Each structure stands twice: as C-alpha cells, then as structure tokens.
Amino acid sequence: MPDLEYIFNPRSIAVVGASESPLNYFGILNRLKLVEEC
C-alpha cells in the first residue's frame, strides 16, 4: 500500500487515479480540496 507522500504527489496523480484502492481515491479527493482552497 502506497504511503501518503506517494498519494499526494502531483506526479503520481495519474497512477493513483488508475488505482481501485479506496485510500488512493480519498487521497485524490483531499488533494482536489487543497487545490480549490489555494
């Protein structure tokens, strides 16, 4: 299972998005929220 640094790494977004792991899915949602707040 990838760690948080991998999940939140902008360069791995495509890889994370292709994964079926719920943890990765929530990682994407959290990252999108961070982007919206900036």
> For residue range 4-20, what is the model confidence (pLDDT) as tens digits?
666 566 666 556 555 55
Report pLDDT for 34.
72
Q: What is the pTM of this model?
A: 0.32
Is the pLDDT higher at 27 or at 20? 27
Tokens linked to 6: 């991998």
* pLDDT value for 25: 72
Cβ(23)–Cβ(1) under 8 Å? Answer: yes
Tell me if 7 sits within 8 A of 27, measured CB to CB.
yes
